[in-house]
Amino acid sequence: MSVETYDVIVVGLGGVGSSAAYHLAKTGQRVLGLDLYHPPHVHGSSHGRTRVIRQAYFEHPSYVPLLKRAYRGWDEVERASGEIVFHRTGLIEVGPEDGVVIPGVRSSAKQYELPIEEFTMADAMQRYPGIAGPSDWRVIREVNAGYLDVERCVQTHLSLAENLGAALRYGEPMVSWETQPASVSVVTDRARYQAGSLVLAGGPWANEWLASHGIPLKILRKHLYWFQVTDQTYDEPAFPCYFFETPRGYFYGTPHDPGVGLKLARHSGGQVVESMQGQQHQPDEYDQQLCQDFISDCLPAASTTLSQWAGCYYTCTPDENFVVDTLPDSPQVTLVAGLSGHGFKFTSALGAVAAELVGRKVDRQAIDFLSVKRFLDPSP
């Protein structure tokens, strides 16, 4: 078997890996990218037309600096490629005053001086006639939010990486990898590769690679829906992206996509998947019914008639924070994994951070909350 040598190998060229390949190629290193399929594709986590992007992060304010970097990253992608990937529609976040979302958005916005507007439910229903909800809910409009064209983001990062000289091999999965004191080798069904560094960006497949390193990842099957609409109520620019916290879970989506429908998904729930081997998505009647009930209750001008659905995977850590680090005993191996169903918006920054981890020039403090050590030594 032949041996080719590179400075760095990126395994997985989806949301994270496509960005990592671009940022590594920008540093002038000889980059090899490998993928099981030909991204963008429908088998992993980076498909389904759109991904919401927002900055006033209710999950945790520590993500905001990374999000600011991600926004700069998407600007760079658009400048470098001439493509539009980020649609700045704004986002309404809707829910109870004492819930998770409304206080969380307020807290991040205040700490980082992010522009938001607050409404009562009655005022919001005047401004956005397509929404409904209990009168004691609050609505926050996040001005700088919007959605990303998910497949175009992946494709554009890959094209930019290739233009900078990255060698990208599709349909060539990594079969095994091993570390030597200051290098790594990767074996595929075609060749053996040697490099100074390895970036593992396998999305839901990373579960199989990282379990033996003490990094617990749970894969969840999730469903996306597009519902028919009969008028322009949910068209952009008048209608923004939306995220609702309800007693039956979190529901979110993007404006009406002409010819496809109004996108809606349930962020909560999901079916546990033990292994990615031989997986195929099937409809989930329970989840679909919850989404149809949500339409009736909260987006009543839309129809509950489905026009399309798709399946996708979340790869979750126990605390739902990402893993962005090097392997403790092998600093030449960088991991970006466990994006826990909220990571696509970050990928323009995560690729840059991966390149910095490879170059050992990273601001560790900024990503300390995403480190591997929290799993290895969970005591406070």
Please identify, using beta-carbon distances, which residue of 121 and 208 lies nearer to ligand FAD.
208
Binding status of residue 173 toward ligand FAD by CB under 6 A: yes
Between helix 347-358 and helix 150-163 the angle, nearest 10°, is 30
Amino acid in position 217: L
Q: How many residues bind ligand FAD (CB under 6 A)?
A: 36
Q: Which residue is nearest to ligand FAD (CB)?
A: 14
Point out which span in 69-77, 95-103, 135-143, 336-344 binds ligand FAD (CB under 6 A).
Answer: 336-344
Binding status of residue 13 toward ligand FAD by CB under 6 A: yes
Q: Decide if 244 contacts 94 (C-beta within 8 A).
A: yes
Binding status of residue 291 toward ligand FAD by CB under 6 A: no
- Quick note: the x/- pattern for ligand FAD over 247-266, rule CB under 6 A, is ------------------x-
**DSSP secondary structure letters along 121-188:** HHHHHHHSTT----TTEEEEEETT-EEEEHHHHHHHHHHHHHHTT-EEEES--EEEEEEETTEEEEEE
In a 10 Å sphere around its CB, with 0-12 CB exposed, 13-18 middle and 19+ buried, how is residue 331 labelled?
middle
Give residue for tokens 């996509």: 257
Binding status of residue 359 toward ligand FAD by CB under 6 A: no
Binding status of residue 35 toward ligand FAD by CB under 6 A: yes
The whole-angstrom separation of Cα 186 and Cα 177 is 4
Closest alpha carbon to 67 in 319, 340, 367: 367
The whole-angstrom separation of Cα 69 and Cα 44 is 25
Binding status of residue 34 toward ligand FAD by CB under 6 A: yes
Among 8, 12, 210, 236, indicate the residue that binds ligand FAD (CB under 6 A). Answer: 12
Q: Give the tokens for residue 78.
A: 């658009």
**Long-range CB contacts (< 8 A, 24+ apart) of 121-126?**
121/94, 124/92, 124/94
In a 10 Å sphere around its CB, with 0-12 CB exposed, 13-18 middle and 19+ buried, how is residue 351 labelled?
buried
Among 58, 239, 344, 375, indicate the residue that binds ligand FAD (CB under 6 A). Answer: 344
Binding status of residue 323 toward ligand FAD by CB under 6 A: no
Binding status of residue 146 toward ligand FAD by CB under 6 A: no
Binding status of residue 355 toward ligand FAD by CB under 6 A: no
Q: Residue 172 CB, nearest distance to ligand FAD (Å)?
A: 7
Point out which span in 11-19, 73-81, 122-130, 292-300 binds ligand FAD (CB under 6 A).
Answer: 11-19
Residues that bind ligand FAD (CB under 6 A): 11-17, 34-37, 39, 44-46, 48, 51-52, 173-174, 201-203, 205, 222, 224, 265, 312-314, 339, 341-345
